Amino acid sequence: MTARILDGNALSAQLRGQLAERAAALAARGVQPCLAVILVGEDPASAVYVRNKVAGCEKAGMRSIKDVYAPDVDPAVVFARIAELNADPAVHGILVQLPLPKHFDPEAVLEAIAPEKDVDGFHAENVGALMQGNPRFIPCTPYGVMQMLKSKNVPLKGAEAVIVGRSNIVGKPMAMLLLAQSCTVTVCHSQSKDLAFHTKRADILVAAVGRARMITGDMIKPGATVIDVGINRLQSGPDAGKLCGDVDFESAKEVAGLITPVPGGVGPMTITMLLTNTIEAAERVAGAAK
Ligand code: NDP
Structure confidence by residue, pLDDT tens digits, 217-259:
999 999 999 999 999 999 999 999 999 999 999 999 999 999 9
Going by pLDDT thresholds of 50, 70 and 90, the confidence category of residue 78 is very high
Identify whether residues 205 and 171 lie together within a single domain: yes
Identify whether 194 is a catalytic site residue.
no
Identify whether residues 196 and 81 lie together within a single domain: no
Kindly state whether residue 281 falls inside one of the protein's structural domains: no
Cα 256 to middle of ligand 1, angstroms = 21
pLDDT average, residue stretch 44-64: 95
Residue 290: what pLDDT? 52
Could you tell me the CATH number of the domain that includes residue 37? Answer: 3.40.50.10860
Kindly state whether residue 235 falls inside one of the protein's structural domains: yes
Cα 230 to middle of ligand 1, angstroms = 7
Cα 267 to middle of ligand 1, angstroms = 14
| Residue spans of alpha helices (H) in 102-225 | 106-112, 124-131, 140-151, 171-180, 195-199
Residue nearest to atom 14 of ligand 1 (CA): 190
Cβ of 230 closer than 6 Å to ligand 1, yes or no, is: yes
**Mean predicted lDDT score pLDDT of the chain:** 97
Identify whether 120 is a catalytic site residue.
yes
State the Cα angle at 126 between 152 and 66, rounded to 5°: 85
pLDDT average, residue stretch 25-37: 96
Residue 90: what pLDDT? 97
Cβ of 213 closer than 6 Å to ligand 1, yes or no, is: no
Could you tell me the CATH number of the domain that includes residue 261? Answer: 3.40.50.720
Residue 289: what pLDDT? 61
Kindly state whether residue 21 falls inside one of the protein's structural domains: no
Identify whether 203 is a catalytic site residue.
no
Identify whether residues 258 and 145 lie together within a single domain: yes
Kindly state whether residue 109 falls inside one of the protein's structural domains: yes
Identify whether residues 60 and 164 lie together within a single domain: no
Kindly state whether residue 171 falls inside one of the protein's structural domains: yes
- The whole-model pTM stands at 0.97
Total structural domains in the chain? 2
Residue ranges making up the domain that contains 202: 140-266
Cβ of 166 closer than 6 Å to ligand 1, yes or no, is: yes
State the Cα angle at 205 between 204 and 210, rounded to 5°: 155
Q: Which residues of 209-239 are buried (b: 16+ CB within 10 A; e: fewer)?
A: beebbbbebebbbeebbbbbbbbbeeeeeee
Identify whether residues 53 and 99 lie together within a single domain: yes
CB distance 206 to 189 below 8 Å: no
Residue 288: what pLDDT? 67
Cβ of 41 closer than 6 Å to ligand 1, yes or no, is: no
Going by pLDDT thresholds of 50, 70 and 90, the confidence category of residue 167 is very high
Q: For residue range 169-187, what is the model confidence (pLDDT) as tens digits?
A: 999 999 999 999 999 999 9
| Residue spans of alpha helices (H) in the chain | 8-28, 44-59, 75-87, 106-112, 124-131, 140-151, 171-180, 195-199, 249-252, 266-289
pLDDT average, residue stretch 146-161: 98
Nearby residues of 255 by Cβ (< 8 Å), 6 or more positions away: 1, 3, 217, 218, 220, 221, 222, 224
Identify whether residues 88 and 198 lie together within a single domain: no
CB distance 109 to 100 below 8 Å: yes
Q: Which atom of ligand 1 is nearest to the CA of 214?
A: 18
Cα 152 to its chain centre, rounded Å, is: 19
Residue among 118, 120, 228, 246 flagged as catalytic = 120
State the Cα angle at 272 between 277 and 49, rounded to 5°: 105
Percentage of the chain with pLDDT > 90? 97
Crossing angle, helix 171-180 and helix 140-151, to 10 degrees? 40
